[in-house]
Chains A and B, each alone.
Chain A
Amino acid sequence: MKARLAPALFLGLPTAFLVALFVLPLLSMLVLSVWRTESYHIIREFNLGNYHVLATEGAYMTFLVRSLVMASVVSLICTALAWPIAYAIILYGGRYRLLLTLGFAVPFLTGEVLRIIALQGLLGPIGLLNGVLMALGAAPLRVIMYTNVASAIGLVYLYLPIVVTVIYLSLLNFDQRLIDAAKIFGASPARAFIEVTWPLNLFGTLIGFALCFIPCLSATLAPRFLGGPNGTLYGMAMAQQFGESGTWALGAAMGVVLFAVSVLLVVIVARLVDLRRTGFTGFGRG
């Protein structure tokens, strides 16, 4: 019976932990979203009123559409930037590859609040950019102070590191000799990239895209401190339901909407990619 004990310990314990503290909370959010809040009390009756409010009140739809556009734009920019960066590190990094990638991870680890503070130092009315402009005698740039552009710059700043890391890891596991093989058989560098490098790293790219898109969609801090009056995003509006306005049930419904969009994205990614075609060899011993 000893053989049965080990899987129970090694796999059962983490599974039980995640079910209790990850799956159950998400389910409880789902349950709360079909209840309602009246003057700070939660009425435990089934109704879909919260979703009705979210679907009919114009403001929430505006927030959702704005969040979707913002997250798509930011993720596309991040992916477009991360590819040449990761590629350059792989090609020219040499023995400093690890240092160069860790260099991208350092800002990512210092926490969102501190990075928002740093961004205020860059973009704010008294920040670095406007300080330089004013020291040179020019007018301050209005477009980066409390606008959606500032939010977008902030989100790129926040999530570029993780996209770079993911694409870097994908490229690291990619066998460079395949490019040489393609070239030997007469492919131009562009064609080798389009037909070999890109499809084989598509999965990593999509994971990087998703890991940027999902937190951007639910961003609460960047729009709040950088976005200004027209910058409210869905996640920020959701956080307010749990703070200032105390309407937990509506907030839970918004959470379910965000969760559903995230899951949808992951499902699309999983559908788009045929793991075998991307060279995935399985998780386990090599």
Chain B
Amino acid sequence: MRVKPGKIALLSIVVLTYLFLYLPILHIGLASFARNSIFPYPPKWTLDTMQRLFASSLYQTALGNSLIIGFASATIATALAGLATIGLMRHAGRRAPLYLALFIAPLFIAEVLLGISSLIFNGLFLGLQGNMVSAVLANVVHCFSYALLIIATQLYRYDWRLDDAAMVFGASPARTFFEVTLPLVWPGLLGAFIVTFIMAFNNLEISFYLLGATPTLPSAAWGALRYGVKPELYALATCVNLVVFLLLGIMFVLMMTGLVTFGHRPERERSAV
């Protein structure tokens, strides 16, 4: 078999980019478990940095706040995006492009603009101090568009005739949703939930402006970063990276098994072309 130069060039670009993306992550991962944290090659293993990180009360409070923001934002964003996707596909009719433009508009606005404009709206026009509810809601705006796209890719393949069939046999809309639609589309919803959770959890630029003095994990890390890079920051980043890898690993497994069992039927994929 002849070796194609084009194939080698393309694949080497992929490999090099992966190295570029993951080397820093690996580097700080090693550094956070090593006594010689500045240049951990070869590493002298220790758990001191991790212990210091977990003992810090600032990071504990921050973790709690970030978890609340992540869960609340992801739940609301997924629910709203689910509604919006069904609305777009079933009820929008000719006005679908208009609604779609509004729904994905937050993608095209930088996070920091969303943060400061919400700050101005809350602080100046509503007279609200920084609080968790505002931060959650502002994060939902940003997460909503991503959730919409993820759910749309799943619902795109969904066969709505199943719903019609259930209704014909006398099921109420609510019962149809819970007994037919939801069991078939939940992988998309879960995927959207996981992704938006991670996004809201790690968000700095929206949460920071709306929270006032309440620390989140990213804002605590940002505060510490202003005074230079410390091994604790490496450890923090490594912990979050590990959790993200784990969550996306679960998601990947679900997507792989989801392809086999949940509502996805390959023949529709081709017929769409």
Contacts and interface: CB of A to CB of B under 8 A. Distances in A.
The contact size tier of chain B is 35 or more
B103 interface: yes
A157 interface: yes
Interface stretch (A17-25, A54-62, A195-203): A17-25
B125 interface: yes
B55 interface: no
Interface stretch (A45-53, A120-128, A140-148, A180-188): A120-128
Contact of B116 (A29, A102, A282): A29
A113 B204 contact: yes
A109 B202 contact: yes
Interface residues of A, number: 88
A190 to B, nearest CB: 11
B108 A220 contact: no
A273 to B, nearest CB: 14
A85 interface: yes
Given A26-B117, A286-B156, A118 B237 contact: yes
Contact of A15 (B10, B28, B102): B102
Given A214-B109, A283-B96, A112 B241 contact: no
B53 interface: no
Contacts of B21: 104, 107, 157, 160-161
A126 B38 contact: yes
B234 A22 contact: no
A13 B81 CA distance: 10
Interface in A83-133: 84-85, 87-89, 91-92, 98-100, 102-107, 109-122, 124, 126-128, 131
B138 A116 contact: no
24 contacts: A6-B90, A10-B87, A14-B144, A18-B106, A22-B141, A25-B117, A26-B109, A84-B10, A85-B14, A85-B17, A88-B14, A98-B252, A98-B255, A102-B248, A111-B202, A117-B237, A118-B237, A121-B27, A121-B31, A127-B27, A225-B225, A242-B209, A262-B109, A283-B100
Given A11-B92, A18-B141, A283-B100, A106 B109 contact: no
A210 B38 CA distance: 37
Contacts of B88: 11, 283-284
A285 interface: yes
B141 A111 contact: no
A252 B121 CA distance: 11
A71 B218 CA distance: 24
A89 B118 CA distance: 39
B23 A255 contact: no
A126 B27 CA distance: 12
B45 interface: no
Interface of B: 7, 9-11, 13-14, 17-18, 20-25, 27-28, 31, 38-39, 41, 80-81, 83-84, 86-92, 96-97, 99-100, 102-103, 105-114, 116-122, 124-125, 137-138, 140-141, 144, 152, 156-157, 160, 173, 195, 198-199, 201-205, 209, 218, 221-222, 225, 229, 233-234, 236-237, 240-241, 244-245, 248, 251-252, 255-256, 268, 271-273
A111 B203 contact: yes
Contacts of A14: 80-81, 83-84, 87, 103, 144
B225 A92 contact: no
B83 A13 contact: yes
Interface string A198-232: 00000000000011001101101100010000000
